[in-house]
Amino acid sequence: MKRTIFSRLALLAGAVLAVASVASAKTYHMTSMTTVPGAAGEVNVAKEKNGNIQIDVSVIHLAKPGMLTPSATSYVVWFEEEGSQPQSQGQLKIGDDLKGELKSTTTLNNFRVIITAETDSQTKSPSDQVVLRATVQE
């Protein structure tokens, strides 16, 4: 009997800790630009207790970069805080189903998420070919 109660309490404590590690979560919808009017995206933001923010960028109906005019070779996700240089978060790979996802972590609270079409996935600054964008305010 005591063992059953202890097991249930341990299970409950584990569940509480799992939920408590993420203090809050929000979803921001991305705005598509005229180059990809059918594309849609979301930025899911989960603030952790340690102050970091988990970011999950997901897109649908985003054409392969080679289909754009002008043509590109990749999409890159950027975080840009007001008054600062954009920070590359990496390449957003698009599957044959025209969906893609990129996960990242940041300490920024108020920033823009920008997806650009690039001819070089390792570029140090974003091109002017923005395809989706959102503003995150935590």
Render pLDDT for 93-109 as a digit per residue (tens, 0 to 9): 999 999 999 999 999 99
Q: Is residue 84 included in any domain, yes or no?
A: yes
Closest CA to 41 of 85, 102, 87, 82: 102
CB count, 10 Å around CB of 137?
Answer: 9
Q: Is residue 4 included in any domain, yes or no?
A: no
Q: Is residue 76 included in any domain, yes or no?
A: yes
Cα-Cα-Cα-Cα dihedral sign, residues 68, 126, 38, 53 = positive
At residue 120, the 3 state secondary structure works out as coil
Q: Considering its fold, how many domains does the chain have in total?
A: 1
Q: Is residue 122 included in any domain, yes or no?
A: yes
Domain hosting 124: range is 22-137
At residue 3, the 3 state secondary structure works out as helix
**Which stretches of the chain drop beneath a pLDDT of 70?**
1-23
Q: What integer pLDDT is reported at residue 3 of this predicted model? A: 53
Q: Is residue 117 included in any domain, yes or no?
A: yes
Q: Is residue 13 included in any domain, yes or no?
A: no
CATH of residue 110: 2.60.40.200
Q: Is residue 41 included in any domain, yes or no?
A: yes
Q: What integer pLDDT is reported at residue 13 of this predicted model? A: 45
Closest CA to 136 of 101, 107, 102: 107
CA distance 73 to 79: 20
Q: Which two tokens stand for residue 43?
A: 């930025």
